[in-house]
Amino acid sequence: MSVKPPPAYQALRQRLRDEIASGAYRDGARLPTESELVERFGLSRQTVRRAFQDLVSEGAVYRVPGRGTFVNERYLRQLGSIEDLMSLSDDTTMEVTSGLRRQVDVEAASRLRLDDDVVFAVSFRRLHEGVPFGVTRVSLPEAVARPVLDAAETQTGAVSTTTIIGLIEPHLAEPIAEAAQSITVGAADPEVAEAVGCATGHPMLRVDRLYSDSSGAPVELAVSHFLPEQYTYRVTLRRSR
């Protein structure tokens, strides 16, 4: 019995995948237009459009209206567990822009359910292959911060492949059990803009995470601003059984 060939859009999708993987199109390079691919392969415009849409859906390329389709140079983060969050350091670099120090921060202290307004805060930017894509400010209760206050990784200018949550957890009485997360849109303030190299007021993806230990006590508040041009956030949701 003969094997039925795949639909034309799947064949084109795979061909484009292979060409991207081989380096024919480098990160950020523009792919041929729909018209160019129609002429090159003798396909219908709908076939080409479907192949492009599949590549967009899987994160291999992205489209800019009026400009074209480009190889995705963004940092793609796919999360499904606390362990995924703590392994962020596997393929990124943390560069501390403001070392861990005592500060008065009413909002952070409130979210951490502290009795006073004092937190210990550290700010850093994240880089993927040398390209900055986000800035994070982490606030900690004093008891959580003290064991890592003098750690090399928490000092201004430090560069490491670690996470603050990974740094503090070995010193906690209870393990991290939960991360309550909210995602909104914000604007880059001067500090964020300087760290990631964008204009002040540039639209940013804001991700707030409040980590709690197994007793329910908040142990870290992380507020991150990511460049949408450089960062794609993906979450997989599964039906409970």
CA distance 106 to 117: 5
CB proximity list for 163: less than 8 A, separation 6 or greater: 85, 86, 88, 89, 94
The angle at the Cα of 216, spanning 210 to 218, to the nearest 5 degrees, equals: 35
- pLDDT score recorded for residue 136: 95
φ, ψ (nearest 5 deg) of residue 230: -115, -5
Give, for 106, the enclosing helix (H) or strand (E): helix 106-111
Neighbour tally for 17: CB within 10 Å: 16
| pLDDT category of residue 88 using cuts at 50, 70 and 90 | low
Please tell me whether residue 185 adopts helix, strand or coil conformation.
strand
**1.10.1040.50, 1.10.3720.10, 2.120.10.80, 1.10.10.10: CATH of 8-71:** 1.10.10.10
Question: Is residue 196's pLDDT more than 80?
Answer: yes
Find tokens 């991360």 and name the residue: 179
- pLDDT score recorded for residue 60: 78
Most confident listed range (25-39, 90-104, 131-145): 131-145
211: nearest Cα among 74, 77, 78, 88: 88
pTM for this predicted structure: 0.68
| pLDDT category of residue 18 using cuts at 50, 70 and 90 | confident
pLDDT 10s digits, 144-184: 999 999 999 999 999 998 889 889 999 999 988 888 999 99
Q: List the chain domain ranges.
A: 8-71, 75-235
Q: Which residues pair with 76 in a beta bridge?
A: 232
- What would the CATH number be for the domain defined by 75-235? 3.40.1410.10
